[in-house]
Structure 1
């Protein structure tokens, strides 16, 4: 994205301002099961704010586009944009470029979630009250089938989410990172928008640049979203493999951005590797067995505390999340090291040919 050189012209909400230039951005890719409820929940707020809803589709083939067009026929404030790059980061950048001169603020809405009717207005009120350039929200995972309920329980628990601030309760506060919701258009454009080289963790990477540029990120306790997680352990594993890889990419771009909880997760893949030697010495498997047993016990404790026997296996979901994240992180370390080695060897060969 083309970005201005300074943030001198950024829009600030004062206590007397009534922001009217708002766009709600909804990236989609095969969201036919969720898009209509999401749009219907956003429409009342969009009417009150005079906001447009931009659905940015990455090439859905499940009927999502047709459903959006049907909804736009009855609510003309809905605009459909095509995202040829498919990724969410590219979708937000595309919409921001399209609406940059028409909106002072944008609200990022993920289609795989549910939103309260006053969601957008509360976010704007929080920006006005705190003076923050970015207002983030807390996520509560909600499941329907047995597997999805266990995955949701793991994502809502500290032993599953690692203490991520936007996954847990508490008062509103300024944070380093949160689930993206409202953002000042000028701040977003000033730092260059999302890095489209990130398929995952693009929000955490952007928050690094926002804070370095002096912008403030507020995690509100006044509203939140209900998130619908993956409904199989296979899908969950692939998601967290990508999360781990994305976290390494962020750490590579922003040294010092890793937190203590990340280092704990990083140790799991080596522990799993160590267990291979259990064929020689059984003791090599002890750390892995102890970690998995701890996940199971914590899952059972959560089920007992919640008096919900149907989530007794949430410890398994937590184990899948944690180990997949670790393997994804180290997979990206290996790829990055291999690419660096190949580049070095190629450069050396070129030097020898001269």
Structure 2
């Protein structure tokens, strides 16, 4: 670690969760060992599984492990609540996603990057891996060009300053000053916050050495629903700030339109060509990935990509028919 890097005692680690009994023990074991002097807070959004019991069990051994209730349920509200109630005296917020695995030395590496690059925020790439067959298909799609269009924070590349990445470390004073996460936005709240952070002069560094591993949804319906919410959240962010989509983000908007055109196919077969062309490209690309990986599960990545495209495009278009959000700026958050 560089000599000027902040100490881990300056860090507030926040784990927002909702029904994460499958992941909480692993996460708490990791960060209690990896960052023993940091403050770790679990913000629970009303879990009905054993999440509360798991944290209570850890508290017997680590009495300084706070568990706070998040009545708003969603992660954005949980992180805001944790920072305003537990952030006094801390300089950095480290947000932890319960669906991810983290490398050893994660927090120390982020603090070192922040010091070396004089960054206000350090974000990381997210690499997807699956355990069962459908998850492996999802992972291959999400790690590929056809699934995420070459998004920088979905692949391990060179470290650089970026507009957005998977949230990891950020300065608490700046987080509070711009109003924190938007609590009525359950998805794409990270990218929306990044826009406000940059408007306030923040520098966001993408650190590839601290890439994390994400485990995708386990069923096609869950994946479709997730990407619908992603699309809806991105559209809300775009409408709030008047920004434009990149080409890789705009292409999925054509998918719901192409599928709707199938209704006209009985009148002329040309109306079926857009949907057939899209499906053929996805399925062929998936087969190529599957052949390269020698896996029939990975060969289904084209199907997973189709669900991602459809969900994202439908969610984005759905948001266009909703009332336009007007609360572009948020009041500063205040420590309690």
Structures share a fold, TM > 0.5? yes
Q: Which moved more, 1:268-277 or 1:301-310?
A: 301-310
Q: How does 1:57-68 map to 2 (within 5 A)?
A: 57-68=44-55
**Counterpart residue number, 2:14:** 25
Q: How does 1:69-218 map to 2 (within 5 A)?
A: 69-218=56-205
CA distance in 1, matches of 2:275, 2:62: 54
Listed one character per residue, the Cα deviations across residues 137-184 of structure 1 (whole Å, up to 9, x for unaligned) are 111111111111111111111110121111012111111000000111
Which of 55, 60, 68 aligns to 2:42? It is: 55
Q: Please state how far the C-alpha of 1:15 moved relative to its aligned partner.
A: 4.4
Listed one character per residue, the Cα deviations across residues 233-287 of structure 1 (whole Å, up to 9, x for unaligned) are 0000000000010011000001124222122122222122222111211110101
Checking the alignment, whether the CA contact within 8 Å between 1:250 and 1:257 is kept in structure 2 is no
Which of 303, 306, 309 aligns to 1:316? It is: 303
**Counterpart residue number, 1:350:** none
What secondary structure sits across from 1:180 in the alignment?
Answer: strand
CA distance in 2, matches of 1:156, 1:193: 29
What secondary structure sits across from 2:46 in the alignment?
Answer: coil
Residue 254 (str. 1) matches residue 241 (str. 2): yes
TM-score using structure 2 length: 0.93
CA distance in 2, matches of 1:129, 1:206: 23
CA distance in 1, matches of 2:293, 2:204: 32
Checking the alignment, whether the CA contact within 8 Å between 1:174 and 1:217 is kept in structure 2 is yes
CA distance in 2, matches of 1:154, 1:160: 5
What secondary structure sits across from 2:158 in the alignment?
Answer: coil
Residue 16 (str. 1) matches residue 7 (str. 2): no
**Counterpart residue number, 1:4:** none
**Counterpart residue number, 1:6:** none
Listed one character per residue, the Cα deviations across residues 277-329 of structure 1 (whole Å, up to 9, x for unaligned) are 11211110101110011001111111222333331111000000011100111
CA distance in 1, matches of 2:274, 2:158: 36
Gaps of 5+ in 1: 1-12, 341-354
Number of aligned residue pairs: give it.
325
Checking the alignment, whether the CA contact within 8 Å between 1:51 and 1:77 is kept in structure 2 is no
CA distance in 2, matches of 1:169, 1:261: 18
CA distance in 1, matches of 2:102, 2:89: 24
Checking the alignment, whether the CA contact within 8 Å between 1:21 and 1:105 is kept in structure 2 is yes
Checking the alignment, whether the CA contact within 8 Å between 1:21 and 1:51 is kept in structure 2 is yes
Listed one character per residue, the Cα deviations across residues 3-54 of structure 1 (whole Å, up to 9, x for unaligned) are xxxxxxxxxx98434323111100000000111011111111221xx11110
CA distance in 2, matches of 1:302, 1:77: 47
What secondary structure sits across from 2:47 in the alignment?
Answer: coil
TM-score using structure 1 length: 0.89
CA distance in 2, matches of 1:75, 1:158: 43
Checking the alignment, whether the CA contact within 8 Å between 2:13 and 2:95 is kept in structure 1 is yes
